[in-house]
Structure 1
Amino acid sequence: MSTELLFSYGTLQLPQVQRSTFGRELDGRPDAIVGYVLHHLTINDPQVVAVSGSDRHPVLRPSPQPHAQVAGTVFTISPAELAAADDYEVDAYRRVAVRLRSGVQAWVYMLAE
């Protein structure tokens, strides 16, 4: 079975979001993305707000400080679960492949500009 790595720094770490999005709670390990800082977006999608419990979601933005880091969790998921994560995330986010502090490459959602 093929797998994907997904780095989450926000609501995809929440058990209720995982159960709603993936039908299960995910096992993950701590990691971080380097060169970014957190900002927040206001989410207008009522389903996403209902699942996450908030209309304010974090979003990554590049940092002028090269050593800035945002902590999060790396999850190993199936391609179908990655597609479910794409469906969960609103249009303000885009999925990109990044190298994490640990050296692994993973998908992450960041601001679609």
Structure 2
Amino acid sequence: MSHLVFSYGTLAQAGVQLEIFGGPVPADRDAVVGYTLGEVVIDDPAVVALSGAAVHPGLIASDDPGAEVEGVVLMLDDAQLAAADDYEVDAYRRIAVPLRSGRTAWVYALA
């Protein structure tokens, strides 16, 4: 099964994709609507080492009707989605969100 996962951060990085998916995954540009970005401090040393940063962006719901966050839509299979779930720390939860293109995708938003 194929899953659309919107990435606005580290899941779009080539090194992260190589480590958790085994290589690059198909992706195209899009934006999530109704959200803005905040920040979260990551305390998992493996995630910090892989991503190269201890502060990651975090998706936050917004009341602003024009709020959008640019990123990419990754096309993941079941095993890759499970690997993404394992990679993301407890500060995030996976939810379904609307995209500017009219599609719906999973995204890791702040919990």
Work out the CA distance in 1 between the residues paired with 2:106 and 2:52.
Answer: 24
Task: Tell me how large the CA RMSD over aligned residues is.
Answer: 0.7
Deviating runs (4+, > 3 A) in structure 1?
Answer: none
Corresponding letter in the other structure for 2:105: A
**Match of 2:26?**
27
Paired residue type of 1:62:
A
Residues 29-44 of structure 1 correspond to what in structure 2 (within 5 A)? 29-44=28-43
**Structure 2 counterpart of 1:64:** 63
Counterpart Cα distance in 2 of 1:37 and 1:19:
27
Q: Summarize deviations over 1:20-69 as a string: whole Å, max 9, x none.
A: 11011122100001111101101000000000000010001112311111
Structure 1 residue identity aligned to 2:58: V
Aligned residues: 111
Percentage of pairs with the same residue: 55
Matched AA of 1:90: V
Q: Does 1:92 align with 2:88?
A: no
Gap regions ≥5 residues in structure 2? none
Residue equivalent to 2:110:
111
TM-score between the two structures when normalised by the length of structure 2: 0.97
What stretches of structure 1 of length at least 5 have no aligned partner?
none
TM normalised by structure 1 equals 0.95
For residues 78 and 103 of structure 2, the distance between their equivalents in structure 1, rounded to whole angstroms, comes to 17
Letter in 1 for 2:49: A
Aligned counterparts of 2:87 and 2:49: Cα–Cα separation in 1:
12
